[in-house]
Structure 1
Amino acid sequence: MSIEKHGLSIGIERIEDELFLSLKAQGKLKHEDYAVITPMIESALAEVKETKVKVLFDGTELEGWELRAAWDDLKLGLKHGNSFDKIALYGNKNWQEMAMKVGNWFLSGEAKYFDNQDEAVAWLKA
């Protein structure tokens, strides 16, 4: 019997006047994963007024989304896209770079794909 792991983990930290949100995806994301994580993200962003958020998204263990989860992800991005200053996607799959380019259309800040985590973090902090 194999165990199917999927979901999102979240970390939030403030460094001086900047807010950093780190997300790590695992497996094939489902609607139920977004039902859990969305209220956490919305709670963290509710207090953000003037500060823009910098996001590090670790997609190295991401296999994709179920259709309803992809819709949840799009809705979350459309609702909070103006809150993000920079989003760095750290991944290891060719389709992730293309997904980041498409996601850029829906965000007010910058979004960039990296295959090296240290470079992604350095870009966020620059």
Structure 2
Amino acid sequence: MIQILEQTEGNVIATKAIEKLATSDYNILLPILTNRLGNYNKLRWYFEMENFKGWELKAFWQDAKFDLKHANDFEKIAMVGEKKWQEWMAIFMRPFTNAEIKYFDSEERDTALAWIKS
């Protein structure tokens, strides 16, 4: 499930991914991202993961297509998680975008939010 967090404003998109992301989550998220891209040259994304287990296959495909199409539309991505593999995911993403990507442990949420807004 995806939650759009109250810190979403301007070119900052703040989300929390809980457990597994499904196609229905991308039906909520992608229009928000697309709308913001119409108003801002570059977006900053705060992506918090809570008990995150990944994506359903169809949802992963939607995510991959969007990411490839908009690889240069993100300025910063803050990934906040609780598992080592989530940190590796942040590292794995770097060659596929021009965005500055940083990983933060879940207890560093405030630091991650401050960084994404700076």
TM range (shorter): 0.7 to 0.9
Larger radius of gyration: 1
Distance 1:39 1:119, change over 3 A: same
SS of alignment partner, residue 54 of structure 1: strand
Q: For residues 48-79 of structure 1, what are the alpha-carbon distances to aligned partners after superposition, in whole Å with 9 as ceiling and x for unaligned?
A: 23xx2221111123221112211111112112
Distance 1:92 1:48, change over 3 A: same
Aligned length: 114
CA distance in 2, matches of 1:10, 1:83: 19
Map 1:1-126 to 2 at 5 A.
7-11=1-5, 12-14=8-10, 19-49=11-41, 52-115=42-105, 116-126=108-118
Q: Equivalent pairs: percent with the same residue?
A: 39
Letter in 2 for 1:104: R
CA contact (8 A) 2:15 2:46 kept: yes
TM-score of the superposition, structure 2-length normalised?
0.85
CA contact (8 A) 1:54 1:87 kept: yes
CA distance in 1, matches of 2:32, 2:12: 14
Unmatched segments (≥5 aa) in structure 1: 1-6
CA distance in 2, matches of 1:61, 1:117: 15
CA distance in 2, matches of 1:122, 1:33: 26
Q: Which runs of 4+ in 1 moved over 3 A?
A: none
Deviation at 1:121, TM superposition (A): 2.0
Letter in 1 for 2:93: G
Letter in 2 for 1:102: F
TM-score of the superposition, structure 1-length normalised?
0.80
CA distance in 1, matches of 2:27, 2:16: 16
Deviation at 1:113, TM superposition (A): 0.8
C-alpha RMSD of the superposition: 1.6
Letter in 1 for 2:86: Q
Distance 1:30 1:45, change over 3 A: same
Alignment match, 1:4: none
Unmatched segments (≥5 aa) in structure 2: none
CA distance in 2, matches of 1:43, 1:122: 23
